Amino acid sequence: MRIMDGIYEKVDYQNNSSILLHINRETDNYSTHWHTAVEIIMPIINIYTIIIGKTTYRLKEGDILFIPPGELHELIAPKDGIRRILLFDFSLISNLRGFSNAITVLSQARLINEISAPDIYPQMKQLFDNITQEYTGNNSLKEAAIYALILQMFVLLGRKYMNTVNYFPDLKLNKQKEYIEKFNLIFEYINNNYMEDISLDTIAGVAGFSKFHFSRLFKQFTDMSYYDYLNQRRVKEAEKLLLNPNLSITEIAMRSGFSSISTFNRVFKSFKECTPTEFKNLYRRRNRAMHE
């Protein structure tokens, strides 16, 4: 059952789990929505259409689409068909040491099939099959086993899409590796200090670049500006804090790294299409309704 309020969907995890695998046979469409979970979709029978921003993905049987947390998307079903839809809490693995840079891999949707990613597709499909077997089976430590398989998926994605050749093709191999190490350091620094005022000069200095060189490289590496990336990280933290009824909007803004309520409201709305207060009230009303 979908739990919706506006365009925000709260994933209905069950039995105190943080993983949900749905063998979806529904013919109803899912209107534009977003959630904090990562979503992985693979059609089993017939096609399935997903619209993310201005991009339409028409998934064929066996195609695998990774949808980032917080991404607005719409699902359009055919008149009949079956597809697997896996949703899980990404925060449980995103905080692993050295894993923060993998978040950049999920800054956009990733389509994995025999054409787009022939080098990793067979392994990715096998991992999804193994996750399904674990989820539907009765083995002990089921959730741990599934997260271990999910980690393998992200290792495949990271090694493919964070290949140095993809980002710095004009540099020699030793310089490419040096830059990748520096960016790993940058992402770790942001992940640990996003609540502080990290200026462009400061973050460029962390890696030993001029701010102009850093800005160009960062855009090349992440496909977004440094400040957009920093704001995205802060908004993701704010999403979690807003679910705490004991925290005020002002306190959440400060903890998330925003210097003022007006900036917090503006940036949050640009990402989520609602204000922090609206987000908090939606969640509060939903919880109240669920317990009545």
Predicted local confidence at residue 274, as pLDDT: 81
Choose among 189, 186, 127: nearest CA to 154: 127
Check whether 162 has a pLDDT greater than 80: no
**Alpha-carbon distance 38 to 128, whole Å?**
14
What is the per-residue pLDDT across 10-58, written as a single tens digit (0 to 9) for each?
Answer: 666 677 788 999 999 999 898 878 787 899 999 999 999 999 877 899 9
Do 53 and 72 touch, CB atoms closer than 8 A?
yes
Q: Please indicate whether residue 128 or residue 285 has the higher confidence score (pLDDT).
A: 128
For the stretch 180-228, pLDDT in tens is 778 878 888 998 899 999 999 999 999 899 999 999 888 887 778 999 9
Decide: helix, strand or coil at residue 230. Answer: helix
Average pLDDT over residues 73-100: 84
Dump the DSSP string for 237-285.
Answer: HHHHHTT-TTS-HHHHHHHHT-SSHHHHHHHHHHHHSS-HHHHHHHHHH
Domains for the chain: give ranges and CATH numbers: 3-161 (2.60.120.280), 166-291 (1.10.10.60)
54 burial class (0-12, 13-18, 19+ CB within 10 angstroms)?
Answer: exposed
Q: pLDDT at position 33, please?
A: 80
pLDDT tier at 278, thresholds 50, 70, 90:
confident
Maximum mean pLDDT: which of 84-93, 174-183, 189-198, 267-276: 189-198
Average pLDDT, the chain: 84
Q: Tell me what the mean pLDDT of segment 149-171 comes to.
A: 74
Question: Which tops the pLDDT comparison, 90 or 172?
Answer: 90
CA-CA-CA-CA dihedral for 263, 266, 267, 273, to nearest 10: 160
Q: Is 8 helix (H, G, I), strand (E, B) or coil?
A: strand
